[in-house]
Structure 1
Amino acid sequence: MSEREMDAEVNQKKLLESVWLSPPRMGVPRMEGGCCEEEVALRAMAEVEQESRQQPKPGDLIEIFHNGYEHWAIYVGDGYVVHLAPLSKCPKAGSTSFSSIPSDRAVVKQERLEDVVGGCRYRVNNDLDHNYKPLPVSEIIKSAKEKVGQEVEYSFVTKNCEHFVTDLRYGKERCGQVERAAIGGLATTVFGILGAVGLAAFSRIRQNQ
């Protein structure tokens, strides 16, 4: 375990102790089970911190939480991940900064997990295991490493970093971010249509009165 991971674990333990062992404070509203809202929030933070320190296994998908979007990588062992990085001539561009550098091309890189994550929260996310059977780990790692250095097509909607890693793990390109956005957009459109129809019907009723 690295010094950074040890410090994070110590901080997590201190946070948990402060939540579970500290006496209730006067004037703080209590919730069900004797917990106040602040304590519930602190427990949630502790759970997030613990989730971020999961030890990934080869073939695991890593979800990295940036401001406003998630970046994805696949763990290939020994502290390294393979992921899509933006093509840029800008030396200050981060290896995951697709949001700030519009591009239709990307490059496959193998980098240390801690370098890709930076100061962001991350977690192992193999939730699609419930829908698809993962490919053999040896096949996943071999395929991922063979792609390192390749320049590939990139599209936020159809060929993004999540599509890339889910294809490596399952042989299926999936992206929850895009799918959630599509569902949200469809719901907005449907409610907009229903609202317009309702308004038109109401107008006709008023005219007939």
Structure 2
Amino acid sequence: MLQLLTFLVEKLSLVSNFKLFESSWLDGEDQELPAQRGPPPPPRRGDLLEVPRTIFTHYGIYLGDNKVAHLIPDILPVLTNDEKLISSVITNKRLILGCMYKAATVRVDTLEDFAYGCNILVNRTDKVMKAQAFPNEDVARRAEKLMGAIPYSLLWNNCEHFVTYCRYGSAASRQTEKVWCL
């Protein structure tokens, strides 16, 4: 088992060096964007949020009042029904075990916990998705209805699948599509 985990970490490290999972889907992605004046506008209820991570981009739906719904691997709901314990900030150990056991939760965290110190991008996928986005209030309601424990798959049911289903009505992950193109 340790050899398998070492192999996977090595491969993920290799993939991250090639920057295959950067969230730069926009046409003309090498062009510089015009400088913004002042801080970006705050997110609105129903906005799709992106947070760049080391290898992948993490996604969520803004619910308003500084809260974000997002799907995240988590082993704890498999082991307990204690809502207070489950709602605590997910540790890397919980996340890795959730990935291995294929368990996740759609949960609500603060904007700060969701961002985890990274910059938040808002609704960038609207420019590349073929489907029209639902009205923001409908997007937020869809996300709220999906709260709780669900099966997890890095390739077939991850955080990006969750937000694209909520915002566009069809679950898709452009990040995992890039894996298949290797």
Query: TM-score w.r.t. structure 1 length?
Result: 0.56
The residue type equivalent to 1:132 in the other structure is A
- Matching residue of 2:54: 67
Aligned residues: 137
What secondary structure, in the 3-state scheme, does the structure 2 residue paired with 1:83 have?
strand
1:136 aligns with 2:123: no
- In structure 1, the gaps of 5 or more residues are 1-43, 186-209
CA distance in 1, matches of 2:143, 2:65: 14
Match of 1:103 among 82, 101, 104: 101
Match of 2:65 among 54, 58, 78: 78
- In structure 2, the gaps of 5 or more residues are 1-31, 77-85
Match of 2:176 among 178, 182, 185: 178
The residue type equivalent to 1:157 in the other structure is L
Q: CA deviation at 1:82?
A: 0.3
Q: CA deviation at 1:169?
A: 0.5
CA distance in 2, matches of 1:111, 1:92: 10
Query: TM-score w.r.t. structure 2 length?
Result: 0.63
Contact between 1:60 and 1:126, CA under 8 Å: does it hold in 2?
no
Q: Which has the higher contact order (CA 8 A, sep 6+)?
A: 2
Query: Residues 92 and 126 from structure 1, CA distance in 2 versus in 1: closer, same or farther, beyond 3 angstroms?
Result: closer
What secondary structure, in the 3-state scheme, does the structure 1 residue paired with 2:100 have?
coil
What fraction of aligned residue pairs are identical, expressed as a percent?
28
Contact between 1:86 and 1:95, CA under 8 Å: does it hold in 2?
no
- Matching residue of 1:57: 44
What secondary structure, in the 3-state scheme, does the structure 2 residue paired with 1:167 have?
helix
Larger Rg: 1
Root mean square deviation of aligned Cα: 3.2
Residue pairs, 1:1-209, within 5 angstroms: 53-89=40-76, 93-94=91-92, 97=95, 101-128=99-126, 130-148=129-147, 150-183=148-181, 185=182
Say which structure is richer in helix.
1
Q: CA deviation at 1:54?
A: 4.8
CA distance in 2, matches of 1:139, 1:60: 11
